[in-house]
Structures are given as structure tokens and as C-alpha cells.
Amino acid sequence: MLSVIEELSEDGTVLDAAHLRARIDDWRRRIDDLYREIAEWFPHLGVDWDGTTVMDEPVMRAYGVPPVRLPVLRLVEADTEVAAFAPGGLWIIGVNGRIDLSAGQNRFVILDKAGIFAPPRWTIAPGLDRLAVEPLSRASLARAIQ
Amino acid sequence: MKHLAAITAVYSEIATALDAQAAQARDAADAALIERVAQKRQINDSTYFILIWGQLEAEINRVAEWAVRARRSSIRWEDRRAWDAHDPENMWAKFEDRAALVLDRLNVDSDACRRTIRYDGWRNGIAHGATLATGIDVPTVIGDLYQIAGEIRA
């Protein structure tokens, strides 16, 4: 199971535009699946799917892959934003993608700890205590956004 | 390796401040600001990566030097002849060789030696201004460095 550092070092894989596009497609699928699951975990909250953010990472520029837009998920309660999830980067050494979570004044990082092209293993940690990592679940996310 | 917890705490504080800047830039849909914050995050990650990598590198050098001294002191020439090629006062061997003195290069289960050499290569890439990564998750890498440190043998 390859990691991002192996991938970017071309140790066991070949970097080219086709590979990067496949990785972006896989990233988008994982984000969509996660957002759907989160929406199901909190049916009492409103869901705003309309926002997007631009993905334009250094390796994409190096191989001529144009920027793409990725979805931002907002959970709302009585017209007040409870939480906003935004993709923070795919090619991050040590993980297979990061989603930034803002919940009021609090920040969390949601990380996929799986290898590339593997089923995701999402975790969550407070921004100010990044060693306090726990698996992402309805319960751990509820604690973060309560 | 004794400073890693303190390094993680300071890293978390600065990274979280940058996360907040990134969220503001995204909310404002300010593409130039988003790019500037992304660069700041990349620089911050690289800086802390080099700092934590230096902790493991120093540990590998320390143990390699100790191993050479201990093995060279053997009375039996059969035990010390390969180690006599190293001078503990002046370890000219390249880092890859020093790592192989204290980590089993053929242990494919843990892969610690190869991971170490890969991190060293990544550090060199950063030092030469050549990195394709968007960032480095410093706490995850610190966890990996602790695992590697646990496998170092004199």
C-alpha cells in the first residue's frame, strides 16, 4: 500500500498527468462519500452543498493538470452555520488527504490515514492538539461540532 | 528525540492559526490570498519537518557512532574487522550507510531503514527547494519517527 511520500518520490509508481487525474477522481469520490455519511449522521441539521473550493496543488502544476473545484459542506441549524468542511489538500506527506473543519471558533483536521487508492480510514483531531487523534465517527464528530 | 512533544505543541499552534487564515481566504473567495496562505502552510510544514527529522538523524548518528566504538573495541579480529573501516571520531560514511549500521536494511516488515532513507531524501529535496508536496502532516510523521527510533539498535 503506497503512501504519498513514496508516490511523490516515484518509488513504486510513475507520476504523470493520467495518474494525477485518477488520484483527483479518487479524492473527489472519498470527499463525496464522507459528506454524504456526515449528512446522514446529523439528519436534524440543514445541509448546504453549494460551496466549492479550488484544488490547485504544486504537483498538479508541475505536471500541467489544471485546477479543479471540490465541494465544501456546511451544516446549519436555524440559519446559523454549525460546521464547515473544506478539502485542505491531497498530496500531504503522512496522510492521504486532509479536510479542514471549522466549528465556530474551533478548528479540527480530518485526515485519511489509509494508503493511496485504499478505502479511507478517516480520523479527526483538534487543531490545537493534533496528537489527540481518534477515528472519525458520528460520536467523535458530534463532540467536535457541539 | 526529547523535544518532539514540545515541537508538536508549537507546530499545532501555528498550523491552527494558518488554518484559520485559510478558512477566511476561502470564505472570501480570494484566490490570491488562498495561494499565499497555502505557501505559508507549506513553508511552516517544511520547517517543522526539518526540525523533527534532525532529531532522528542525530539519534541515528549517535547510536551509529556508539556501535562503531563498541564493535571496534572487540579483541577478536573476526568481530571487529568490518567495523575497523569506520572511524567513530570522523564518520565520513554517507547517512544511508550510517542508517544501515543501526537499522536492519532487510527487515521488510517494518521497512524502518527504507522509510528513514526516504525521509532523508525528502529533507534534501526541501533543502534544495524541490518539493512536490502540498504539505506535511507533522504529527503523523512524528509518530512514524518514534516508531523508527524504537527499532534503532547499536
Burial B96-125 (b: 16+ CB within 10 A, else e): eebbbbbbeeeeeeeebbbbbbbbbebbeb
B124 in reach of chain A (CB within 8 A): no
Residue A107 in contact with residue A92, Cβ under 8 Å? no
- Predicted confidence at residue A40, as pLDDT, reads 97
Interface test with B, best of A69, A101, A108, A130 (most B CBs within 10 A): A130
Residue B154 falls within a domain, yes or no?
no
Arithmetic mean of pLDDT, A124-137:
93
Domain that holds residue B59: 4-149
Q: Tell me the H-state helices in B1-154.
A: 4-27, 31-72, 77-80, 95-102, 112-127, 138-149
Annotate chain A with DSSP letters as a single string: ---HHHHHTTSSS---HHHHHHHHHHHHHHHHHHHHHHHHH-TTSEEE---EEEE--HHHHHTTPPPEEEE-EEEEETTEEEEEEEEEES-EETSS-EEEEEETTEEEEEEE-SPTTSPP-EEEEETT-TT--EE--HHHHHHHH-
Q: Which of A64, A117, A111 is nearest to A89 (CA)?
A: A111
Residue B59 falls within a domain, yes or no?
yes
d(CA B86, CA B69) in angstroms, rounded, equals 9
C-alpha cell at position B80: 571487529
Which of A5, A6, A107 shows the shortest C-beta gap to B19? Answer: A107
Running along chain B, 154 residues long, what does each successive block of 10 average in pLDDT? 82 92 89 92 94 93 90 86 81 84 84 93 90 93 92 90
Whether residues A93 and B135 touch (CB distance < 8 A) is answered with yes
Total domains present in chain A:
1
- Predicted confidence at residue A142, as pLDDT, reads 97
Q: Which chain B residues are closer than 8 Å to A56 by Cβ?
A: 35
Residue B70 falls within a domain, yes or no?
yes
- DSSP letter at B140 equals H
B136 in reach of chain A (CB within 8 A): yes
What number is the ipTM of this complex?
Answer: 0.92
Total domains present in chain B:
1
Q: Which residues contact B88 (CB under 8 A, 6 or more apart)?
A: B65, B66, B68, B69, B72
Q: Which chain B residues are closer than 8 Å to A10 by Cβ?
A: none
pLDDT digits (tens, 9 = 90+) for A44-85: 999 998 899 999 999 999 999 999 999 999 999 998 999 999
Domain that holds residue A76: 4-145
pLDDT digits (tens, 9 = 90+) for A87-122: 999 999 999 999 999 999 899 999 999 999 999 999
Q: Which residues contact A72 (CB under 8 A, 6 or more apart)?
A: A51, A52, A53, A84, A85, A86, A87, B26
Q: Confidence class of residue A31 from pLDDT cuts 50, 70 and 90?
A: very high
Q: Which chain A residues are closer than 8 Å to B147 by Cβ?
A: none
Residue A96 in contact with residue A118, Cβ under 8 Å? yes
Which of A5, A92, A131 shows the shortest C-beta gap to B134? Answer: A92
